[in-house]
Amino acid sequence: MAIKFAPYRFEHLPRIRDIFAEWPEYWGGLENMPSPWEDFSAWWEWESKGALVALDDGIVVAFGYISEVRCGDWATIHIVKKRGYLNPELFTALVKEGIPYFFTRWDLHKLIGYVRATHTACIRLYASLGFHEDGRLREHEKTDKGRVDLIVVSLLKSEAGNVFF
């Protein structure tokens, strides 16, 4: 089946919540995830300024979103997929769809991402798409294996033009 992409709509929210629940490390443990449903819905409205969903046979399997457009022209990009969903092209396709969508929809100057230093394939993917490594937040995130560094990456709209526009 082919993956299709669509702007987020409210009916996607239950599936987005289910996918978030598959990643307890995102929350520092599921006990920290907003609950019940009303709290998650309110959190999502506060957190997400825009989202693009990846649909497989009409079901949300991944999504990209931006949080808090800062200074009017830059935002942080987040990509989250269903745990165990084995489609190697999904992440790449979602990033390639999401980048021009977010840049143009919100007239952004820059997108910033944070990647665990242990996720070397993701770091290489961002680099192949024109993102630059801006720095490292040392021992920034706590995991079940200890603390890990986060790599800060960014892409300017002027740099994205060569690849996406």
0.85 surpassed by pTM: no
**Domain-by-domain residue ranges, the chain?**
3-164
At 111-122, the pLDDT tens digits run 999 998 998 888
What is the C-alpha to C-alpha distance for residues 96 and 102, in angstroms, rounded to an integer? 11
Right CATH for 3-164 from 3.40.630.30, 3.40.630.10, 3.20.20.80, 3.90.190.10: 3.40.630.30
Residue 165 pLDDT class (50, 70, 90 cuts): low
Q: Are 149 and 139 in contact (CB under 8 A)?
A: yes
